[in-house]
Amino acid sequence: MSHTRKHHPLQLLLAALLVCGWTAARAQSTNYDELKVGAYTLPDPLRFSNGKPVQNARQWKRRRKQILTLFATQVYGHNPEAPKHTSYDVFEVDKNALGGKAIRKQVTVFFSSRKDGPKEDVLLYLPAAAHNPVSVILTLNFSGNQSVVNDPAVKLPTIWNGKTHLKRVASEESRGLPHGSSDATGSAGEVNGGGLFLGFSASVLSGWPVVVGS
């Protein structure tokens, strides 16, 4: 014989209030302003989470796992699983880029089987004089690749505002380099031993219908 447990209406109301309160607290805890960060003390890397000291190399291996867990839960988050369907579209190639010193490639990386799904445009410079595979330096930026290279042919990205969550296409005025900055294309144009791979670090964001970068 089965019995159905009945809940008092007050119990259901209390449960609903707890869920709503927890959700509101989660929403209010999000902070995008470094000036509003309260006082805090960084954990001692040589002490376990229970306060006991790390006394040898074997114990350090356990403490190291705790530290990595802190970074995953409090700083960077967990690595997502690798996309199951990844494809690439080379939409632009210039073998005479940077005055003939480099080969420029612009590529769209699709992270799903849908062309309107998450994607990113990336920028690659290879030394024109290289005849064999070369090493590539990966660099990330926060304003779009057009802002860190002096190359008018770089595609303008869609910029996402982390505070307002609004998207817009970068303007032509955003091209070029701030005063006193070094040109990232120098390593591709002057060094024959390696290439340069540029990525807009704010471009790969979950839930975007159009992911950005150039």
User: Both 66 and 111 in a single domain?
Assistant: no
Nearest to 124 by CA among 134, 111, 114: 134
End-of-domain residue from the set 19, 53, 79 = 79
More confident residue, 24 or 93: 93
User: Both 50 and 91 in a single domain?
Assistant: no
Nearest to 157 by CA among 98, 111, 93, 205: 205
- Identify the residue whose tokens are 């494809």: 87
For residue 179, being part of any structural domain is answered with yes
Is the pLDDT at 111 greater than 80, yes or no? yes
For residue 28, being part of any structural domain is answered with no
User: Both 72 and 170 in a single domain?
Assistant: no
For residue 29, being part of any structural domain is answered with no
Is the pLDDT at 178 greater than 50, yes or no? yes
- Strand-pair category, 102-110 with 87-96: antiparallel
More confident residue, 128 or 13: 128
User: Both 69 and 106 in a single domain?
Assistant: no
Q: Which two tokens stand for residue 49?
A: 């989470």
- Identify the residue whose tokens are 């210039």: 94
- For the question of whether the overall pTM of this predicted structure is more than 0.85, the answer is no
Contacts 24+ apart (CB under 8 A), 51-57: none
| Count of other CB atoms within 10 angstroms of residue 175 | 16
For residue 20, being part of any structural domain is answered with no
CA distance 195 to 136: 4
User: Both 96 and 167 in a single domain?
Assistant: yes
Reported as a pLDDT band with limits 50, 70 and 90, residue 195 is low
User: Both 146 and 115 in a single domain?
Assistant: yes
More confident residue, 83 or 11: 83
User: Both 97 and 190 in a single domain?
Assistant: yes
**What's the distance, Cα to Cα, between the start and end of the chain in Å?**
65
What is the overall mean pLDDT for the chain? Answer: 75
User: Both 57 and 91 in a single domain?
Assistant: no
For residue 15, being part of any structural domain is answered with no
Number of domains in the chain: 2
CA distance 48 to 63: 6
Give residue 48's domain range: 37-79
CA distance 210 to 199: 15
For residue 2, being part of any structural domain is answered with no
Reported as a pLDDT band with limits 50, 70 and 90, residue 137 is confident
Instruction: Estimate to the nearest angstrom the gap between the alpha carbon of 21 and the chain centroid.
Output: 31
pLDDT recorded at residue 133: 87
Reported as a pLDDT band with limits 50, 70 and 90, residue 211 is very low
Per residue in 53-79, pLDDT tens?
999 999 999 999 999 999 998 888 887
For residue 9, being part of any structural domain is answered with no
For residue 8, being part of any structural domain is answered with no
